[in-house]
Amino acid sequence: MASEESRPTLLLLAQEVRDEIYRLVFTATRLRIGERWKDDIRHLSKPAKDSLALLQTCKQLHEEIGDTWKSYVLFDFVSVFSFMDTLSSLPTASLDRVRHARVYGGQVQLQQHTGVPLTSRVRTTRNPSNLGDLLNILTGLKLDSLTVLLDHRCSAQGEVIRGIITTSVGWKNLYVMTQSRTCCQSDWTPAVRHLGCTKPGLNIAVYRSLSLRKPMAVLDPDDRVLVTRDMKSAGLWTGEILVIAKRKFDEEPLGGFWIQKPLDLHFGPLTVTWVDIRDTCSEARPRGNVMQQIVEIDEYDDVEKYTWYEPWHERAMLSLDDDEGDNEGYNIPIPRGLRRDLRA
């Protein structure tokens, strides 16, 4: 039996091997951050326990890893407000290390502080509530991948997606997932797909899931198809939709992809900062006092997995036995002729 001294340890491995181990560990790590409200309950999300335990193992590992871990982990934000609050507070040296982010929602509902007038810079900003505009505030953002989850509560999904693609900077690869939808809802996919034909240096693909009841099915290449026609005119009831946008630039783009000017910027650079917005506005919250707070510790076996906080497909199933076919309270009509297929 090998003695205690002769047993291999991490620190006895070659530096390049240790670096690869660090990369693999942090690539499989996500940090869920932020808070959201539902009714009168505040849900506070926190990362899984010991997510960054490797940094605390010993002084040598801490020094070897440094802040390189920020380039590998997935920063997972439960709201746009949390996304902006967290990233805008980072110094530029730390912000440009963040390479993978996911945010739930594409808009933030802002409300003015009582008795505090809006500053001229906030008042003249085109639309500070859209994620596409807010991204431009984060000077120095260099995301390799930005993932956005849009549930059924976002009534302007197409506008949000087009805004991120055409007016924002700070990302190289964009992935947007939306919830299941009916053939009665407005179909924004043709306009989004058309951007890939008219904008130089931009490649866009739109996929729809073949499974209505199965969340995350759209991530499975075997359970999705490429959207090539108008889904509304075709009468398609689709599962989740995935939009993939990849930016292409010349071999030596000026300044790199993250500070390139947007492909279609009509409104000029934003002069407002997140501090300006936070000084005069706050995130709109449910009326009444918060009666309860729930701390949610993130538990996962795959960093790519996601959860719909308002699962549309489950709510839609509740009305399948309703003769009128209305999903009362959610304004999502269910065509009478599709009920039989949904029950299957």
Residues 49 and 106 in one domain: yes
Both 331 and 237 in one domain: the answer is no
User: In terms of domains, do 342 and 224 share one?
Assistant: no
Per-residue pLDDT tens digits for 148-191: 999 877 778 888 999 899 888 889 999 999 886 655 556 788 88
Q: Which of 189-193, 255-259, 275-279 shows the highest mean pLDDT?
A: 189-193
Domain count for the chain: 2
What average pLDDT does range 336-342 have in this prediction?
A: 37
Same domain, yes or no, for 105 and 225?
Answer: yes
Q: Are residues 175 and 112 in the same domain?
A: yes
- The answer to whether position 188 is within a domain reads yes
Check whether residue 285 and residue 252 sit in a common domain: yes
User: Considering the domain boundaries, does residue 163 fall inside one?
Assistant: yes
Judge if 264 and 320 occupy the same domain.
no
For 15-58, how does the pLDDT look when each residue is reduced to its tens digit (9 = 90+)? 999 999 999 999 999 999 998 877 778 888 999 988 999 998 89
Residue 69 pLDDT > 60, yes or no?
A: yes
Q: Is residue 195 part of a domain?
A: yes
Domain that holds residue 151: 10-307
Whether residue 155 is contained in a domain is answered as yes
Residue 40, domain member (yes or no): yes
In the predicted structure, residue 254 carries a pLDDT above the cut 60? no
pTM of the model: 0.80
Residues 104 and 125 in one domain: yes
Residues 327 and 295 reside in one and the same domain: no
Tens-digit pLDDT profile for residues 280-328: 777 766 655 656 888 999 988 999 998 888 765 444 444 444 433 333 3
Q: Do 89 and 140 form a contact (C-beta atoms < 8 A)?
A: no
